[in-house]
Structure 1
Amino acid sequence: MSTKKLHQVRHHILICEGKSCSAEGSDKVAKRIKETVKDLDREDEILITRTSCTEQCGKGPIVIVYPDGVWYREVSPKIGSRIVSEHICNGQVIENRLLVDLQENSEL
């Protein structure tokens, strides 16, 4: 594995790999996100990290996008791909998968 040039990174995607999220298929989500990042030639700009539990059990798989601070819930591989292509590449948040209301800063 090579060392990522952090000065090129524009987005950081965190994928929960806790027990609950893993049981819901977070591994497949992570694989699809990595494939999409590669297909869109954004590997230098996007850092992907698998995390331990994000303490949102029962709402997963959880995917978090920084620097935007957007938390997604119940992410399928298809939604994971959309997070990359629509949110990160085009600035369009996937509204129906938000964990937190960005306007009200409250849990949905």
Structure 2
Amino acid sequence: MATWNFDQLKHHILICNGSTCMRNGAEEVTQSIRGEISRKKLDNMIHTSRTRCNGRCQDKCVIVQYPEGIWYKQFQPNDSSAFVDALYEGVSFDQKVSHYYKDSKFQRTNNTKKGVFKK
């Protein structure tokens, strides 16, 4: 198993590979994002990790961008190029579902289901 050098890392992308997202294209999203990162030679700047369910199944496919804590919904493989470009350029990407702030509050975009509390 490799041990990556993260000295130049700026973004960590968590890609939901839970069952609902997988049935709705998560593998293609994962490969597309990773392909764009590789093609643009940004492997040292952007790291990806597959996750299991992130609990936002109705928003499939879900990705989360850290350290900003931005969640994206309805991500499609053809969004990958613009998304990776936005990360590199430090600009916003349109499909933000919510943003986690340091005061532990989420700010949701319009038409985003609030969801249920975990018990």
TM-score when normalising by structure 1? 0.87
Alignment of 1:39-78 (within 5 A): 39-78=39-78
Cα distance, 1:105–1:28 mapped onto 2, change above 3 Å? same
Higher RCO (C-alpha 8 Å, min separation 6): 1
Q: Distance in 2 between matches of 1:59 and 1:53?
A: 12
Q: Greater share of helix residues, 1 or 2?
A: 1
How many positions carry a matched residue from both structures?
Answer: 106
Could you list the structure 1 runs, at least 4 aligned residues long, displaced by more than 6 angstroms after superposition. none
Which residue identity lines up with residue 106 of structure 1 in the other structure? Q
Q: Distance in 1 between matches of 2:90 and 2:106?
A: 19
Which residue identity lines up with residue 92 of structure 1 in the other structure? V
Unaligned runs of 5+ in 2: 110-119
Cα distance, 1:52–1:101 mapped onto 2, change above 3 Å? closer
Percent of residue pairs bearing the same amino acid type = 27
Greater Rg, structure 1 or structure 2?
Answer: 2
- Conservation of the 8 A alpha-carbon contact between 2:69 and 2:99: no
Unaligned runs of 5+ in 1: none
